[in-house]
Every structure is written in C-alpha cells, then in structure tokens.
Amino acid sequence: MAQQLYWEDVGVGSEVTPLVKIPTTRMLVQFAGASGDFNPLHYDDVFAKNQGPGRTIVHGALKAAWLGQMLNEWVGEEGFLKRYGCQYRSQDMPRRMRTQTEPEQEGETCTCKGVVTKKYIEDGEHRLDCDIWVENSSGQKTTPGTASVVLPSRG
Amino acid sequence: MNQDSVITNEMRAAIGVESEPSIREVEKGAIRRFADAIGDPNPLYHDEEHAAKSKYGAIICPPSFFGWVVRSARPTRTFQSPFTRGYNGGNEYEFFKPIKAGDVLTTTSKIVDMYERQGGPQTGRMLFTVMETTFKNQDGEIVAKSRGTGISYEGPRQVETPPMESGRLGA
C-alpha cells in the first residue's frame, strides 16, 4: 500500500496520482454483469452502429468507478471521499480482444487524472476540492468532473 | 411553455414523485465482483482480514458500487418516454457514512429535473432527466445520495431503427 497522504502534503495545484486503464470489450461485458448496466451499446456492435456511436463504447459508470478508484487510492485508508461526480461528454472506445484474455496492443488508453483546486478546513475537517477527469490517448478530457475529499492532518 | 416541447404535463407531474422504497442487502460477493470488474485491488473490498483490522472493521463498498448494484428503486414511469435512444449523461455521488458488507440499504429515487436541448444533426432534440437516489442503512441513517442525468434523444430522422425497450436513465 502507498504511504498515507496528509493534508499538509498537498496544496492547490498538487496532482492527484493518475490511474491508467486500458478498456477492453471483455472488461465491458464483465462490468455489465457486475453493475447490472445491460445497455447493449456496451457489447453489441450492430446495435451500437444503429444507435449512433458506430461501435461499442465504454460505460460512463465504469469511467466514474475508475475515477473513484483513483481518488480512494490517492487519499488512502485514512482519507475519506466525500463527494464526486463526472459528466460523460465524449465516448471512449474499448480495445478489441486479441486472445481470450489479451487486448489488441493498439487502441485507446484511458488515464484518470486530477488536480487540487481548493484547500480548506470546514466543520473541523481538512478538505480538498479537486478537478478530476478521464482523458483518452489524444489527451482529450472525455469525462470531466469534480471531487471533495478529507485527508488526515498531522495536527 | 414552448409549443414544441417534448415535456408533457404528464411528465412534469412525475417530477418530485418519490419511488416505492427498495430494500437490498449489500453482499460481499457482489462487492468483490464489482471491484474485479473495475480492476480495483483495494484490500478493503477483497480481504476480510485486512478490512476487519481497518478503521471500518469490515469489507466496504467501492464508491460507485451502490449506484447500480444495490439500487432497484426507480420512479414508477407514469409516462412514455418521447425518444427511444438514450445514454448516461453523468453521475454524482455523495457519501455520508461508509457502506459495509452486510448492511441493508433502503433506497428511494425521484426525478428532480427535466429539461431539453437541441443537439446536432445526428442527435436532434435531447431530453435530460435528472434522477436523485437516497440510500439509508438499517439504522435509518442516510449513508449516500446519488444523482444521475439520463439523456434520451431523437437521433437522425432519416434512419429507421428498432426502438429500445426503454430509454435507460442514469443511476
């Protein structure tokens, strides 16, 4: 486990430790099953073609889940994620599978990122506000959002 | 009101109407499968021994877990959605207390807002439906709230497509 982060360790402009994910068609099926989001846009190419996106797209909720993972890994077990949200502005395409378990080497990589925008104490809590987002391989922010977290203080 | 509005009086009347509560147990197997699906190795979701020694004392949920898995509450649809195509526009989660495996959550949902917008030629008219869900634990405490924006849209007019069974809304 990474070392616990403290409120004193970060300031406005500090980066949230990024999290890299390679979305695959296999992953989308697994997420559909685990989350209960069975919209065929995420696993049926013909449906996705008829419905607009052209081909299957990554679940918005999966990208939100990755942002949650990034934030919780960053604040650590002694931190607390109070609030976060994001908008699914642009679609992300999964990589197709090359073998049963390995994706194609070429294709999209999603990187979750964030930056601290505000550092303050409220209700006795040491809080930070952040801008967060998922960006695609071209560096486009497909999924922008915000978050508020509480960190432990060295006192 | 705009004469061309797709938001009917019937739809407006559905705003603010609370759903019937749904009651679900937070299952540790479901937490593990969800964490696996995200690719999140956090031992608080996977390792009971580690979780027992943590400040939580038990396996907890990943932050977006309950948005989909635990929730079956949905506002009763009293209207026909005007468009058949849809996707999730965004999600927001607010956490008040940790949600642990074995907790029994009571969830209720309501539509809190509806608005429309003119999209591009591929999208046509768009309807945004904002839904709020409240999660209470077995002690009656509000542990979390979520907000989801479902977007349904007209699509390009010239193409015929089979209708979706239901325009799905965000969590």
Show the tokens assigned to B51: 């979780």
Show the tokens assigned to A125: 């809590």
CB atoms within 10 A of CB A76: 16
pLDDT higher than threshold 80 for residue B27? yes
Q: Which CATH superfamily is domain B9-25+72-153 in?
A: Hotdog Thioesterase (3.10.129.10)
- Of B31-35, B58-62, B84-88, B144-148, the poorest mean pLDDT is in B84-88
Query: What is the third-level CATH fold of A11-150?
Result: Thiol Ester Dehydrase; Chain A (3.10.129)
Instruction: Give A145 to chain B, closest Cα distance, Å.
Output: 9
Round the CA-based radius of gyration of chain B to a whole number and report it: 19
pLDDT higher than threshold 70 for residue B70? no
Q: Which helix (H) or strand (E) holds A48?
A: helix A45-50
CA geometry: angle at A13 spanning A7 and A15, to 5°?
Answer: 75
Mutate to test the interface with B, among A39, A44, A69 (most CBs of B within 10 A): A69
pLDDT higher than threshold 80 for residue B62? yes
pLDDT higher than threshold 60 for residue A54? yes
Confidence category of residue B72, pLDDT binned at 50, 70, 90: low
**DSSP state letters, B136-148:** E-TTS-EEEEEEE
Instruction: Give A48 to chain B, closest Cα distance, Å.
Output: 11
Contact B148, B99 (CB under 8 A): no
Contact A78, A91 (CB under 8 A): no
Q: Which residues of A touch B171 (CB under 8 A)?
A: 61
CA B15/CA B104 separation, integer angstroms:
27
Contacting residues for A155 by C-beta, under 8 A, at least 6 apart: none
Average pLDDT, chain B: 85
pLDDT higher than threshold 50 for residue B1? no
pLDDT higher than threshold 60 for residue A13? yes
pTM of the entire predicted model: 0.90
Average pLDDT over residues A109-132: 98
CA B79/CA B13 separation, integer angstroms:
10
Query: Looking at residue A124, what DSSP letter applies?
Result: T
Among the partner residues A36, A87, A145, nearest to B69 by beta-carbon distance: A36
Strand-pair partners of A116: A130
Q: What is the pLDDT of residue B120?
A: 87
Beta carbon pairs, A and B, within 8 Å:
112
Confidence category of residue A155, pLDDT binned at 50, 70, 90: confident
Query: Does B42 contact A39 at a Cβ distance shorter than 8 Å?
Result: no
B143: nearest CA partner in chain A: A82
